[in-house]
Structure 1
């Protein structure tokens, strides 16, 4: 793998029976880079994420990922019979420090006082923050976010956007965010990639510092929507 990269994928092809979902896909993600991946339903976004997470190795091509990987999914997938802090450290080795590690991670997502709570008592946003804490406690080099805000209300989504940026700026993992939300991608990412026909067909760089205003990126927004096949652009 080339120096300065966390992900380097070349010619990635993935088939399900006679259907080619990913087709000779190339992808590079730099160390500490925040990348958003957009595409229509069925374009292969989640399949690519599963390959990068090591959950699907039945592929052709070269897949290189440097360091550790964590995933936060759209559904938090918390075990209801474990308290919040035990969900955070689920599967970690070295159990002597589990409680301390969980407490530190929960403090970072502003849930330190929920360590002994049960998942059923959490709101949707709180459960998603626990999912982020579980991903971050592993100190990943690559953080994969699979539409983690899709089920949240608008105000909670905005709060989660701010939290994710804060966490990214603190820990500086490489991030790949899979999303359907164009505005979300423009607010969070350094680069926005468009996946279509199993390959990355376009990319757009965002140079402005965070926090961003969508009003400063209306030209990029229009190009991204066009790439996605949306020609009647609604105002941001």
Structure 2
């Protein structure tokens, strides 16, 4: 397969994607003519069963997979990604992990500013192995923020965290999004997480988007809110989960 070079998007970020297909070897395509628009500043969650193509799509948008075909792929010039694993280099201090491969002068100041935003500026000179799982994931977010992204890609960034840390990280991501307003695409398996965070929820199945739903309940949202029950039931059904009565 030949890839199509991405084009710069309109000012303010966003995604415009048309007819994206990705196959591996001679197997059936993982992504099948997928089209997607994300508006500048919009927070979008992407749900799907394992193997539906969620992470494949994110890797393409992040520029980590070029072996695809598409009629159009339009992205902002600044894209950052945070994965489920923080992917910190253990031989570099925390602040150096934050600005790794980042050009410019006074990179320590850049790192400290990003770490302060995630509440970890006091850990700037720590070694990564001394951090808790939640702290390491905060460093990963700081690294993404240091690049001042117009598009922030999150690939199940809370999946390996305990429940309480996960809630804290969800609130942090929402606060950072409100402050900086990048477009966000969050890949997750967690229906409730998508409902709490996103403006819009997509469901990917067999390489195609089969549902595209706006979340109109104002933030902050509570999972106990009965107004969210119909949306939760619909999403669970689309994912093949039968909710108990």
- Measured against the shorter chain, the TM-score band is over 0.9
Q: 68, 86, 94: which is aligned to 2:78?
A: 68
Which secondary structure state, in structure 2, belongs to the residue aligned with residue 60 of structure 1?
coil
Asked if structure 2 preserves the Cα contact closer than 8 Å seen for 1:101 and 1:137, the reply is yes
Which secondary structure state, in structure 2, belongs to the residue aligned with residue 150 of structure 1?
coil
Deviation at 1:48, TM superposition (A): 0.1
Deviation at 1:204, TM superposition (A): 1.4
Deviation at 1:67, TM superposition (A): 2.3
**1:194-233 equivalences in 2 (<5 Å):** 194-216=203-225, 217-231=228-242, 233=243
Look up the match of 1:77: 87
Q: Which runs of 5+ in 1 are unaligned?
A: none
Instruction: Report the aligned-residue RMSD.
Output: 1.4
Aligned length: 233
TM-score in terms of structure 1 length = 0.96
Which secondary structure state, in structure 1, belongs to the residue aligned with residue 23 of structure 2?
strand
Q: Which is further off, 205-214 or 65-74?
A: 205-214
Which secondary structure state, in structure 2, belongs to the residue aligned with residue 214 of structure 1?
coil
Asked if structure 2 preserves the Cα contact closer than 8 Å seen for 1:78 and 1:131, the reply is yes
Look up the match of 1:92: 102
* Runs of 4+ deviating beyond 4 Å: 1-5
Deviation at 1:3, TM superposition (A): 7.8
**1:129-168 equivalences in 2 (<5 Å):** 129-168=138-177
Q: Which runs of 5+ in 2 are unaligned?
A: 1-8
**1:16-95 equivalences in 2 (<5 Å):** 16-19=24-27, 20-61=29-70, 62-94=72-104
For 1:63 and 1:125, how far apart are their aligned partners in 2? Answer: 33
